[in-house]
Amino acid sequence: MNNSGPSPKISGLIIGGSGLIGGFLLHYFKTKTPEIDVRAPNSKKLSLRELNDIIGYFKRHKPDFVINSAITAIRSDALLSYEVNYLGSINLARAALALNIPYIHISSAATLPPGENLTEEDRLPLNASLPNYAKSKLMTEMTLRQMHEKHGLQYTLIRMAIVYGAHDHKIQGINRLLYNMVDRAMPFMLTKKKGVLHSYSNASKVPYFIHYILKNREKFSGQHYHFVDPEPVDLARLILTIKDYMNLKTPRELYIPYPVAKAGNNFMNWVIKAFNRIGYKAHMPAEMIFLENFYKTQTLSCEKLKKSGFVDPNPQATIFTELPSLIEYYIARWEHLNLFSSFSRKDFNVSHAMKQKAGPAEEVAEIFMHSPTKLLDTMYNDGIAPLKDIM
């Protein structure tokens, strides 16, 4: 008689389950992996800004692995970017270290410089001039590697480029481009005529790769991977493809040089600030902080991914093959929400609050903005050990 019985289920924790990548992860593990039980608590049950939330949750549930796909809005101020994107991510890693479980972290190509065929070892230098989003993601990458080398953290870092997929509740990235074209807010081409290439990441494929990582955890421990489509995409070609598919008249094929686009961007920021002073709330799209990227190539090498043994579940799928379904989905959604009008989104930029009397949190935000390396030094000395309360 065989008394071995079925293998016990393992449990996982997904942070950011309401986001684009997190949503695909949650659906995948709920429908395709009966041997894995996952939880995706919302921020009321587990806030990355509250260390006690993390400690309490890990003590109660003791997951077998952690996936962190949570991020703040791109235009978030220094304090929120630091507390969620950086400190929250590191505290999750410390909790994983305390339980000796794998920690899988989703990062971004915002940590990389412009260039072609960038490898996993490439990264921007850390300095105060970086946008809050890029700075916080870069600091996280550096600290996770330090935790692996010093304490043996079992982590895998996945860098994503421009992410595409349905069911994203935010209008950012590729969705911002589509939204602006449909809303006739892009009269001309904000890029070069040809040759500006970017890498794209298919959100629906990420869960398959993460499942493969979990089944081969030792092989992937301490490793960084670029998860991108093999072929980069010409930005001008993508814009014109969307225009043709939807039979739009704009943007016209007049390519605005970068100095002119930058001057226009600065002027619009000045106009918006003037309107804000008289009671109108408006802001430039968050993606405009990366305006230079519209004119510079950034492509990520996926050679390491190809050699990892992972098999692409749908190698024919690209941004171009998925474009028709993405357009149909998002246009219907935005129409239902009545979003096709100027300045319809709330202003998430709360940095003015930092100008009030500064407390400890505000002081940390100031250091994050102006001296990020000091925070790294402090974290390396005092804040990357396993969380003893969980142990």
Residue 172 has pLDDT above 80, yes or no: no
User: What is the C-alpha separation between 69 and 245, in angstroms, rounded?
Assistant: 32
How many residues are there in the chain? 391
Residues contacting residue 249 through CB under 8 Å, at least 6 positions apart: none
Residues contacting residue 138 through CB under 8 Å, at least 6 positions apart: 110, 111, 123, 124, 126, 130
User: What is the C-alpha separation between 304 and 321, in angstroms, rounded?
Assistant: 24
pLDDT tier at 73, thresholds 50, 70, 90: confident
pLDDT at 274: 66
At position 11, the amino acid (one-letter code) is: S
Cα dist. 329→161, 313, 326 in Å?
22, 22, 5
Residue 351 has pLDDT above 90, yes or no: no
Neighbours of 2 (CB within 10 A): 4
Residue 332 has pLDDT above 50, yes or no: yes
Q: Indicate whether 136 belongs to any domain.
A: yes
pLDDT tier at 52, thresholds 50, 70, 90: very high
Average pLDDT over residues 286-305: 81
The CATH number of whichever domain residue 159 belongs to comes to 3.40.50.720
Q: Indicate whether 233 belongs to any domain.
A: yes
pLDDT at 287: 53
CB 68, CB 105: distance < 8 Å: yes
Q: Indicate whether 266 belongs to any domain.
A: yes
User: Which of 135-144, 225-234, 287-296 shows the lowest per-residue confidence on average (mean pLDDT)?
Assistant: 287-296
CB 30, CB 215: distance < 8 Å: no
Calculate the average pLDDT of the chain: 84
Closest CA to 140 of 161, 112, 114, 111: 111
User: What is the C-alpha separation between 291 and 282, in angstroms, rounded?
Assistant: 19
Residue 64 has pLDDT above 60, yes or no: yes
User: What is the C-alpha separation between 368 and 370, in angstroms, rounded?
Assistant: 6
Q: What percentage of the chain carries pLDDT values higher than 70?
A: 85
pLDDT at 178: 84
131's enclosing H/E stretch is none
Q: Count of domains in the chain?
A: 1
Q: Indicate whether 202 belongs to any domain.
A: yes
CB 206, CB 161: distance < 8 Å: no
88's enclosing H/E stretch is none
Per-residue pLDDT tens over the stretch 271-281: 666 656 666 66
Q: Which domain holds residue 232?
A: 10-382
Q: Indicate whether 390 belongs to any domain.
A: no
Higher-confidence position of 326 and 92: 92
pLDDT at 352: 36
Q: Indicate whether 1 belongs to any domain.
A: no
Q: What percentage of the chain carries pLDDT values higher than 90?
A: 53
Q: Indicate whether 387 belongs to any domain.
A: no
Q: Indicate whether 5 belongs to any domain.
A: no
Closest CA to 232 of 195, 204, 185: 195
